Structure formats: C-alpha cells, structure tokens
Structure 1
Amino acid sequence: MKATLPSEERLKSIKFIEELFKRGSSYFLHPFKIVYLADKKDNRVPPKILVSVPKKSFKRAVDRNLLKRRIKEAYRKNKSGIFSSPDIVMPSHLAIIYIGKDKLDFDTIEKKLILILNRLKST
C-alpha cells in the first residue's frame, strides 16, 4: 500500500456519507471521534476517509484547514502500517472527526491517530 492519499480514497459522495452516519459504528478517543462502516469484501483496498473539524470549535477556516491537513498527513503516513495485515477486516468508509477544543501539534495528532486506528483494527 502506497503512502499516498489519492482522490479515490477520499469520501465525497453525499449518499455514502449519509449511509456512514446512519448505519456506521463509532467510538471516541480524545481528540477524535471515529465513525466507520465495515461491510467491505475486498481487504486490499484502503477505506474511503472523510476528515472533519467542526466550525463550532474553530471559527476561523485557517485553523480548521490546518488541523485537517495535519490529520490527513498523519493518516497518509501511517495507513500502510495499520491496514497492511491481510487477516483484518477493513472498513469501507471511515470518518475522522476532530472533537478537541484546542489546536494540537502534528506529533500529538499522529500519536493519537495511530492509537485510534489500531483500536479500529482490533474491532
């Protein structure tokens, strides 16, 4: 699995986003909430992801975009190590929602994202 985040791996379809939030399972690990839908048959394809930072917590678009870039980069760097096992069932869709109230640095975001994705791998 390449360490890239192409357009095919991003969740953009309104239909699939609605389905994810309607039928998906979720859990929290501060500062993230993960919503996932595990109904995929092909384990070699990485999940389509959606990254969200609420406007309620960060009014300025600059801050929201900074956090989204950090989350996407942390995911991109670590997805191959997390989803490389052939025996795990990967979700087909994955939403990563930042629920923290303050801007964290990249290293902290990366550590927390690895923890939460490893928890996803074990479910």
Structure 2
Amino acid sequence: MTTAPTFKKEERIVSNLLIETLFEKGNSQSLAAYPLRAVYLKTEHREGCAPVQLLISVPKKKFKHAVDRNRVKRQIREAYRKNKALLEGTVAEGKMLLIAIIWLSDKHFATNEVEKKVISLLKQMAK
C-alpha cells in the first residue's frame, strides 16, 4: 500500500536565513510559467531540514483580500504536494533545493491550470 503524498512543516521554508539565501545571493535561478514564477537555488544541506523546501508567495498587491490569497496558496500547495515526486533524485547528497513560487497575476485560475503550471516548473527544475 502506498502512502498519500504529504506536505509537512519540514518541507516549508520558515527560516529567514534561508529566505535571504534564496533571494539575496544572486546565485538563484528563475523560471516562469504564467501566472507563476519560481526562484530556486541549490545550496548546502542544513541539519534537520528536508532536501527540498518550498515557499509560496501571493502578493497583497495582486489580491487585496486574504481569502483570495489563501485560495491561490491552497491551489499551489496542493499541486506541489501531488507532484513533488518529480523532484525526487534531483538533489545530490549533502545538498538541498530551496524553491519560492510567486504568483504573478491578479486573476484567479482554475485548479487544474495551476497544477499544469506547477508541473511545468517542477519538470524544468528537475533537468
């Protein structure tokens, strides 16, 4: 029996240090699959961290109401959870992959469209 894919707290970027590493170093790479943009960086593994960590950002500038931002974040989280297996085996031993997914549009998209875009980004990162 296979277990359902999960998205645990260890898989989320919660450390300000990791967020700064991802956005301020200049080493990170960026991919776009409208309405999403992914910024990612392979870095040295930290103790107690999952090999792949994710940050989801939906700017207040795009959606003024929290309910709208939360809906989009939920769509992205679910798409990632279901398809994170695409990244398995792409992270070398002793390394970790930091990913930030940023919403670019001010419109809602269907969940299956969001999932297709997340799959596209994950496949490009896996290369």
> So what's the TM-score if we normalise by structure 1?
0.86
The question of whether the paired residues in 2 share the 8 Å contact of 1:46 and 1:83 is answered with no
- Greater Cα offset, 67-76 or 20-29: 20-29
1:34 corresponding residue in structure 2: 38
The question of whether the paired residues in 2 share the 8 Å contact of 1:31 and 1:98 is answered with yes
1:6 corresponding residue in structure 2: 8
The 4+ residue runs of structure 1 with deviation greater than 3 A are none
Alpha-carbon distance in structure 1 between the residues aligned to 2:58 and 2:80: 15
Unmatched segments (≥5 aa) in structure 2: none
Identical columns (%): 40
Note the C-alpha offset of 1:89.
Answer: 3.3
Alpha-carbon distance in structure 1 between the residues aligned to 2:52 and 2:87: 9
1:112 corresponding residue in structure 2: 117
Structure 2 residue identity aligned to 1:6: K
Please give the secondary structure, in 2, of the residue aligned with 1:3.
coil
Structure 1 residue identity aligned to 2:67: V
> So what's the TM-score if we normalise by structure 2?
0.83
Note the C-alpha offset of 1:100.
Answer: 1.6
The question of whether the paired residues in 2 share the 8 Å contact of 1:31 and 1:100 is answered with yes
2:35 is the alignment partner of 1:59: no
Larger fraction in strand:
2
Note the C-alpha offset of 1:41.
Answer: 5.9
Match of 1:21 among 12, 20, 23: 23
